[in-house]
């Protein structure tokens, strides 16, 4: 039997005849689809909740048994196996599923077979009324399959382009564009496919297709067509006679350019667009403008040569991109150290970095950094020169260098081959000798510049960076750790490099950025910022741009930080670090869709199948970041899929397992999440850290006795940080048990012992508000607010307005929420006004909307439930951000009779981690709220189940908490 899930839902035999007994029973087919695509047996409880959650328990069980019996009659009595509690499709069941066939082919690289198997969107139009879990499952499967489809379209398009199979190439490109209408890479491929035969008719077809697509793009994607597609259309138009005259190509874009934020910096300025002089006439001008809003054709040439990265369309800088494309690109593809001893074996990674750093200071060349090559294939793996030339050409290089390094009597010797990437021929072989690696890198850079016809400043690497070889060795190891997502090792290696040379420019900058990202205020402000200021004139342009991004970001200059980050990515298009930074800025600004689009584009441009397990798996880091972004969007299934891709590529990396842990916990799959946490701990060699993760997961899973054991283990640790973790877990456990007085006392003891840990006191706002201690809450709130003061001078971003505004916004939002039960709406209004003005300066987009939560509280206290719901909806930071907003929004929905919406936002709150914004609502309180909701809507079995959870948790709760159980089933 063949189960079709792509494009439609149907079960048919080998001859294509539809199974008549299931033709109109879509719910039964949906159950079969869920079983067929599951990687493990499913619990009966999960199936009951997914398909018959609105029915009483007896009827639901009857319906499930009837469905399974029906499926066994069709597929065979042994096709569906099951113990009393679990159900699974047997491995040898006579069933082929199109989604599995497609996914297997796509992942195996058989893209022609994959496209033949892909019949359309997954389960279109199939839904189960009232089932949020089925909807989430379909969305997760659909998202993953659509991603594989786009990847196969891109890969198959490249294959057909290389084979010059223009007809099939056009079909695949059109299919790709239909699936992703806003994809500029798909549009580029379609234009190349249509114009490929290089006839006048083919070019006219390409221009007609461009006209149609550009109009659709402007209408549906709400922005002008991307510069690269415009430029390719202009290149095609240049060779097509217009009224008997071939169109000339202007050098500067004619289209209006959206105004960019002003950047007060000598390094970055918004692009200036000039209007070209001399036109043919109104008619020709209109026709040419319609076909392309022009930019430099060199951009397209560079894109088609590299063909691997979809640049972000927002804030594009055509002039900068063109300048980068016109400079010769140099890639140091491979340096091998055969037979190296422990003192020189690091140079296979370190020497390319040294040479690249020296070349990066020469404006006449563009350096393809080692990270870009890792993004393509990891390490090169061989010294087959044509293969290395091909790899460099794929990276966008016009020159490629590869060599062997070894020791001689006087120090080190490097035999370096410089290849023309286009022809694959060796242009020159350099034999270089030096006493140490830094001097060798200087000689290699000078030799490369002479080959490519560029000239450097004459400054030596040892003058610009560091005189310590050992410091550079630690710096190279830090970069490898950063590529693997290991922040602890990155920090350790950078600190070691700076201990050897405190003025090592690149190491200083990298450590400073790491400190800023992790809010290490003392390190950044007192130790790193003054030193970095002294050596700022020795920083290369890329690092100066990155510093500007962080300065604008932490100053609360949101638009400017994004603009400079896009500038960085555009100015260094072959360096993935700029795009990584732009992604991070988008995430912190709450632009999760833009961040996900950037990540998906980078992954689509990455050959992840080759060299996946090699050192510095950049694709692995992209998948891990994508998992994190999807998690923040509330897409737990998509986050899990991305985390599993990262693990498949790099199973030895702890970070992938931690992302998987979070994604599984969001779905309530705590046993599997605990397994992932244990694997992460095993790889990290940090069992104490695992105990902390385990404790939080056990609390979320309502396994309080086991959580007690984990807390006791952490309390015995010799590490003060781990003992602090035990205290935090103890407070969270008391809250889950409804013991808010005990939690309050624990916070006060901790606060007295660690007065610098201001975040601890935020928990007591919630405790005092729950206990109705309004006068004490007022005294507590009168203490200085966390992190805010009028900043007139600053030496680092962590002293900037944006950073301090973040502390102010969160502190006062929690304070306002605690006052909600007091009836003091005047105080709430004043706090909302302050939050709106100050929170808008924060670098973190969550704080831009906290005032909406407080205004929602005001409306709710006045009984204006529609207004309250609107404000709480606007305050949501992702579906499972600050769970206090979820709880208040559910209350508003209940008063409006929107029961399904109330259940949705309450269930989403379970997905928030207890170590962040989710700590302010215990899961036991969510259980109590759902029990009440189910009781009011007549779902007695569900109400009883959740009431049992609440009773078990609140057995020893404070009296006022236990009273809330009265009246529950």
Per-residue pLDDT of 236-285, as tens digits, reads: 877 655 433 333 333 222 233 233 332 333 333 333 333 333 333 433 33
Instruction: Compute the average pLDDT of residues 675-685.
Output: 86
pLDDT in tens, 604-655: 766 443 443 344 566 788 899 999 999 988 888 899 999 999 998 888 888 8
The pLDDT score that the predictor gives to residue 659 is 93
14: pLDDT strictly greater than 80: no
Separation of alpha carbons 506 and 511, rounded Å? 9
- Return all residues near 168 (Cβ < 8 A) that are at least 6 apart: 160
Q: Sheet harboring 96-97: ordered strands across?
A: 10-12, 2-4, 96-97
685: pLDDT strictly greater than 60: yes
225: pLDDT strictly greater than 70: yes
Separation of alpha carbons 248 and 237, rounded Å? 9
| Core vs surface per residue 399-424: b (16+ CB within 10 A) or e | bbbbbbbeeeeeebbbebbbbbbeeb
Percent above pLDDT 90 for the chain: 25
pLDDT in tens, 802-822: 878 888 899 899 999 999 999
More confident residue, 309 or 371: 371
Give the SS3 label for residue 828.
helix
- Range with the poorest average pLDDT among 29-33, 207-211, 661-665, 939-943: 207-211
Q: What share of residues in the chain are helix, strand, coil (percent, to 5)?
A: 65, 5, 30
378: pLDDT strictly greater than 90: no
| Core vs surface per residue 311-336: b (16+ CB within 10 A) or e | bbbbbbbbebbbebbebbbbbbbbbb
Separation of alpha carbons 173 and 150, rounded Å? 10
The pLDDT score that the predictor gives to residue 643 is 93
Separation of alpha carbons 227 and 293, rounded Å? 8
Most confident of 265-274, 353-362, 572-581, 827-836: 827-836
pLDDT in tens, 438-488: 778 877 877 777 677 665 555 555 555 676 767 777 887 787 777 666 778
- Return all residues near 846 (Cβ < 8 A) that are at least 6 apart: 590, 877, 881, 882, 917
The pLDDT score that the predictor gives to residue 483 is 65
856: pLDDT strictly greater than 70: yes
The pLDDT score that the predictor gives to residue 265 is 30
The pLDDT score that the predictor gives to residue 338 is 67
Separation of alpha carbons 654 and 676, rounded Å? 10
The pLDDT score that the predictor gives to residue 892 is 96
The pLDDT score that the predictor gives to residue 138 is 87
pLDDT in tens, 41-59: 888 888 888 888 878 888 8
**What pairing do the DSSP bridges indicate for beta strands 80-82 and 399-408?**
unpaired
Report residue 961's pLDDT band, with 50, 70 and 90 as the boundaries: very high
- Range with the poorest average pLDDT among 311-315, 701-705, 872-876: 311-315
Instruction: Compute the average pLDDT of residues 291-297.
Output: 30
More confident residue, 623 or 316: 623
Mean pLDDT for the chain overall: 79
pTM of the prediction? Answer: 0.58
The pLDDT score that the predictor gives to residue 606 is 64
The pLDDT score that the predictor gives to residue 411 is 78
Report residue 849's pLDDT band, with 50, 70 and 90 as the boundaries: very high
Instruction: Compute the average pLDDT of residues 788-810.
Output: 63
Most confident of 220-229, 505-514, 940-949: 940-949
150: pLDDT strictly greater than 50: yes
User: How many Å separate Cα 757 from the centre of its chain?
Assistant: 29
More confident residue, 86 or 242: 86
Q: Sheet harboring 329-336: ordered strands across?
A: 366-368, 329-336, 399-408, 411-420, 426-434
316: pLDDT strictly greater than 70: no
Q: Residue 541: phi, psi to the nearest 5? A: -65, -40
- For 721, the token pair is 């940080």
The pLDDT score that the predictor gives to residue 287 is 37
Percent above pLDDT 70 for the chain: 80
Instruction: Compute the average pLDDT of residues 839-854.
Output: 92
Separation of alpha carbons 112 and 156, rounded Å? 7
CB 883 within 8 A of CB 921: yes
- For 849, the token pair is 């909307």
27: pLDDT strictly greater than 80: yes
The pLDDT score that the predictor gives to residue 325 is 45
- Return all residues near 562 (Cβ < 8 A) that are at least 6 apart: 314, 315, 582, 585, 586, 589
The pLDDT score that the predictor gives to residue 293 is 31
DSSP-derived secondary structure letter, 358: H
Separation of alpha carbons 711 and 690, rounded Å? 12
924: pLDDT strictly greater than 90: yes
The pLDDT score that the predictor gives to residue 708 is 92
pLDDT in tens, 327-350: 566 766 667 766 656 666 677 777
CB 961 within 8 A of CB 738: yes
- For 544, the token pair is 């100066």
- For 850, the token pair is 């906290």
DSSP-derived secondary structure letter, 397: -
Separation of alpha carbons 645 and 273, rounded Å? 43
């Amino acid at each position: 039997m063949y189960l079709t899930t792509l494009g439609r839902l149907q079960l048919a035999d080998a001859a294509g005849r539809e199974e008549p007994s299931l033709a109109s029973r879509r719910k039964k087919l949906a159950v079969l689809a869920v079983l067929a695509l599951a990687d493990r047996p499913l619990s009966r409880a999960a199936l009951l909740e997914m398909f018959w959650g609105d029915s009483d328990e007896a009827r639901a069980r009857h319906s499930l048994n009837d469905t399974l019996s029906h499926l066994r009659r069709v597929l065979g009595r042994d096709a569906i196996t099951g113990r009393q509690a679990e159900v699974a499709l047997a491995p040898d069941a006579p069933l082929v599923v199109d989604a599995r066939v497609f996914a297997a082919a796509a992942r195996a690289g058989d893209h022609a077979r994959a496209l033949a198997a892909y019949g359309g969107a997954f389960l279109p139009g199939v839904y189960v009324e009232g089932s949020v879990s089925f909807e989430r499952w379909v969305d997760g499967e659909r998202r993953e399959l659509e991603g594989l489809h786009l990847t196969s379209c891109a890969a198959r398009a490249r294959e057909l382009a290389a084979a010059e199979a223009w007809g099939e190439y056009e079909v695949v490109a059109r299919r790709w564009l239909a699936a992703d209408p806003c994809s500029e890479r798909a549009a580029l491929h379609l234009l190349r496919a249509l114009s490929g035969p290089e006839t006048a008719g083919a070019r006219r077809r390409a221009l007609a297709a461009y006209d149609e697509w550009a109009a659709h793009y402007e209408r549906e994607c709400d922005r002008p067509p991307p510069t690269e597609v415009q430029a390719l259309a202009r290149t095609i138009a240049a060779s097509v006679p217009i009224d008997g005259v071939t169109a000339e190509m202007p050098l500067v874009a004619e289209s209006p350019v959206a105004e960019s934020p002003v950047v007060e910096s000598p390094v970055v300025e918004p692009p200036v667009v000039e209007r070209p002089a001399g036109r043919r006439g109104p008619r020709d001008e209109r026709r040419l403008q319609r076909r392309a809003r022009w930019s430099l054709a060199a951009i397209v040439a560079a894109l088609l040569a590299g063909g691997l990265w979809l640049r972000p369309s927002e804030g594009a800088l055509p002039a900068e991109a063109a300048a980068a494309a016109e400079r010769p690109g140099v890639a140091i593809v491979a340096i091998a150290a055969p037979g190296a001893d422990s003192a020189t074996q690091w140079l296979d990674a370190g020497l390319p970095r040294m040479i690249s750093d020296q070349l990066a200071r020469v404006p006449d060349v563009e350096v393809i950094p080692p990270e870009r090559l890792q993004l393509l294939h990891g390490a090169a793996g061989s010294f087959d020169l044509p293969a290395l030339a091909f790899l460099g050409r794929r990276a966008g290089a016009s020159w490629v260098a590869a060599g062997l390094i070894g020791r001689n009597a006087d120090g080190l010797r490097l035999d370096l081959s410089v290849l023309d990437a286009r022809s694959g021929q060796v242009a020159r072989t350099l034999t270089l000798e030096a006493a140490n690696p830094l001097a060798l890198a200087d000689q290699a850079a000078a030799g490369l510049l002479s080959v490519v016809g560029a000239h450097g400043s004459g400054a030596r690497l040892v003058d610009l960076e560091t005189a310590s070889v050992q410091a550079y060795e630690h710096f190279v190891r830090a970069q490898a750790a950063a590529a693997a997502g290991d922040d602890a090792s990155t920090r350790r290696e950078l600190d070691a490099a700076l201990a050897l040379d405190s003025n090592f420019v690149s190491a200083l900058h990298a450590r400073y950025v790491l400190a800023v990202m992790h809010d290490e205020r003392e390190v950044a402000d007192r130790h790193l910022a003054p030193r970095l200021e002294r050596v700022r004139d020795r920083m290369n342009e890329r690092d100066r741009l990155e510093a500007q991004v962080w300065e604008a970001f932490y100053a609360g200059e949101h638009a400017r930080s994004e603009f400079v980050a896009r500038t960085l990515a555009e100015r260094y298009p072959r360096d993935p670090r700029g795009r990584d930074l732009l992604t991070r800025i988008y995430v912190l600004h709450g632009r999760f869709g833009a961040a996900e689009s950037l990540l998906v584009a980078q992954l689509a441009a990455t050959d992840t199948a080759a060299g996946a397990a090699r050192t510095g798996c950049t694709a692995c880091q992209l998948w891990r970041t994508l998992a994190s972004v999807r998690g923040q969007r509330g897409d737990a299934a998509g986050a899990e899929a991305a985390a599993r891709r990262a693990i498949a590529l790099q199973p030895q990396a702890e970070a992938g397992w931690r992302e998987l842990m979070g994604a599984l916990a969001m779905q309530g799959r705590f046993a599997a999440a605990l397994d992932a946490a244990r694997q992460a701990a095993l790889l990290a060699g940090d069992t104490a850290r695992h105990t902390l993760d385990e404790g939080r997961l056990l609390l979320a899973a309502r396994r309080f006795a086991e959580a007690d054991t984990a807390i006791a283990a952490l309390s015995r640790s010799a590490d003060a940080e781990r003992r602090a973790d035990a205290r935090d877990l103890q407070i969270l456990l008391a809250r889950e048990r409804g013991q808010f007085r005990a939690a309050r006392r624990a916070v006060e003891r901790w606060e007295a012992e660690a007065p610098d840990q201001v975040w601890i006191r935020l928990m007591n706002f919630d405790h005092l508000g729950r206990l109705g201690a309004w006068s004490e809450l007022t005294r507590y709130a009168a203490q200085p607010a966390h992190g805010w003061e009028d900043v007139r001078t600053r030496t680092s971003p962590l002293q900037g307005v944006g950073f301090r505004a973040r502390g102010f916004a969160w502190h006062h939002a929690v304070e306002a929420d605690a006052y909600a039960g007091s009836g003091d709406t005047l105080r709430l209004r004043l706090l909302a006004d302050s939050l709106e003005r100050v929170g808008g300066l924060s670098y973190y987009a969550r704080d831009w909307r906290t005032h909406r939560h407080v205004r929602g509280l005001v409306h709710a206290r006045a009984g204006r439930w529609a207004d309250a719901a609107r404000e709480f909806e606007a305050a949501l930071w992702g579906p499972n951000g600050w769970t206090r907003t979820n709880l208040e929004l559910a209350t508003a929905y209940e008063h409006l009779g929107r029961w399904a919406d109330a259940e949705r936002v309450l269930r989403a709150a379970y997905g928030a981690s207890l170590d962040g914004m989710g700590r302010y609502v215990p899961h036991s309180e969510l259980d109590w709220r759902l029990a009440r909701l189910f009781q009011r809507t007549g779902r007695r079995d569900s109400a009883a189940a959740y009431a049992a959870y609440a009773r078990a948790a609140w057995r020893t709760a404070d009296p006022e908490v236990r009273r809330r159980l009265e009246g529950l089933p």
